A and B are shown apart, each in its own frame.
Chain A
């Protein structure tokens, strides 16, 4: 009898040991030593100013995770350190294309993160799709990137370009009409980001059927640095409102030329006074930003973050890590950090490290994740439709500085627009 009991115990113990060994092989030997996140950044060239803050924001998140022992990955049920593999594309799309391929085929990254902005993201979209890698698109908002038949892209941190200017158009066709705005000038840089927004502005204005007309509608190359003649041409069209859609270099040159020419439009919109306020204040000067309308960014609005750091905490962490000031804090730095937060949540929820499982995990966050960038929300194509920025106006704060006033939509407005601009 004892023999039979011992035999049963021995058999059960052996079975238990086998099961444990099998589990260990699945959970232990199968888990990688690191999660490889591959990305590009532009340390030089035309897009460095929008690329580096995003990259630094992502890097800050990676360093935080690694300081805590890594990021929790559900399929392995443990925290795994992150290895960030980052290459410098120098703002060159051809270099970027080569490096995206390298990240996928040579480095075999687990997660592919695009460089910042539509231009440097555009080359990654077909490459990621061909290799069936999910492209974590940080701030490439060109509407053409997103389609129902492409499962391999998801936009993290900015709304898709086609909805960015909704509040501009809504304001001009409602409140603007009441203020007397009838003639609108539209100036844009010819790239995916601002070209898409220009199309959207035309579409929204047409759909509104309001008594406003676009009296000037011209594109300029993204590398345009001189706007004096263009400003003269815009003035000749006698607009009540001017919408200038450009990258930082465009906005800096345009607003400086505007100021130096002594021209003051009654209503002037530009993108980057809101998105990179510190940077524009340094280059254009506070005077040149006064009464300019712009997108009110997450770096100003202070959304109530339900996950990750609050805005003041992020700002403090940024200053501690990058205090030298060569890379400005602003909308793009928040965007890079937000990419990290979404990845953190997705890795904690994904069923496997398969790219489509990762996609499913990211889509599962849609409408449920609130970070310092606002509400994370995706449409069926992977385009970001949350995080829409309200229309704001930069006004003097009375102490020699500037402050933001949200003017539209009314439910989030913090003040009334100053029209015409002083």
Chain B
């Protein structure tokens, strides 16, 4: 049971890295809290569900569509909302209020369009039957989702550390004012990062029916909490710290389910309190400050 929980936790953790990644990227670049992150994830999930039901589009193909569409959606949304926010005295606090409102609007619209009930995509779409890993049997859809999450994380790494745009993005993350002073088009860089953040949420959403069993328009709130835990554990503002946060969260959750299943829903809050008490900057907090 121990080995199974550990391996399942790693797969689940990879997925939760993807869930939190976009939120952390947006916070890291803009220092705003996108409380509608979970709702963009939900939109990605319903997009995959809708396309699968309508034209039997494989969710893997939906990933690429989500990447393009949500990045394209994010850029104008950034220019509509964020520059105004950043001019405010306390943009972090205001962003919480603004994106909470946006979250409510998205959830309400999704409920009107899709109805309140759970929806899902058959697991066989991502591979049939269980797959053996180190002597343990896992659903193929889980592994496919885990691999896709790992690839998405790798993609973000390459974007941040191997492209010119990534260098500029990291410069903005370190100090927005200094980046502006050196002539970087901060808004352009931030708008693209915002779009990528939304796209990452939507891509995580595409795999949600397989990892979470089903999706509903109301799922965003729970996922926001889990995303926060993941990024606070890893380090707020450090996208790659999210991977560590996700894995810690995933493994802890599976151990809780194995040994204290009734208490498993307390885990996010307990982890959040623990990390804030013991290491408020997150497990990789110091590294990000020196980046």
Contacts and interface: CB of A to CB of B under 8 A. Distances in A.
20 contacts: A43-B111, A44-B111, A44-B216, A49-B216, A52-B115, A91-B218, A223-B265, A226-B212, A232-B1, A249-B214, A249-B216, A252-B213, A256-B123, A256-B213, A257-B139, A257-B213, A260-B141, A262-B129, A283-B119, A285-B122
Interface string B124-135: 000001100000
Contacts of A284: 120
Given A229-B257, A260-B141, A261-B137, A224 B264 contact: yes
B130 A226 contact: no
Given A49-B118, A220-B264, A285-B122, A230 B222 contact: no
Given A44-B111, A252-B213, A327 B262 contact: no
B117 to A, nearest CB: 4
B46 interface: no
A236 interface: yes
Contact of A224 (B115, B118, B139, B265): B265
Interface string A278-319: 010011110000000000000000000000000000000000
A233 interface: yes
Measured as residues with beta carbon below 8 angstroms from the partner, the interface class of chain B is 35 or more
Interface string B196-217: 0000000000000011111011
A219 B261 CA distance: 6
A57 interface: no
Contacts of B4: 229, 232
B116 A44 contact: yes
A322 to B, nearest CB: 10
B142 interface: yes
B8 interface: yes
Nearest to A42: B116
Given A44-B107, A284-B120, A327-B115, A261 B8 contact: no
A366 interface: no
Contact of A229 (B141, B212, B214, B258): B258
A283 B140 contact: no
Interface of B: 1, 4-5, 8, 12, 107-108, 111, 114-120, 122-123, 129-130, 136-142, 210-214, 216-218, 222, 253-254, 257-258, 261-262, 264-265
Nearest to A236: B1
A326 B113 CA distance: 9
In the A-B complex, the 8 residue pairs with the smallest Cβ-Cβ separation, listed nearest first, are A253-B213, A326-B115, A48-B116, A260-B139, A221-B265, A262-B130, A260-B123, A225-B212
B42 to A, nearest CB: 11
A45 B8 CA distance: 27
Contacts of A414: none
A230 B115 contact: no
A336 interface: no
A230 B261 contact: yes
A139 B258 CA distance: 32
B224 to A, nearest CB: 13
Contacts of A253: 212-214
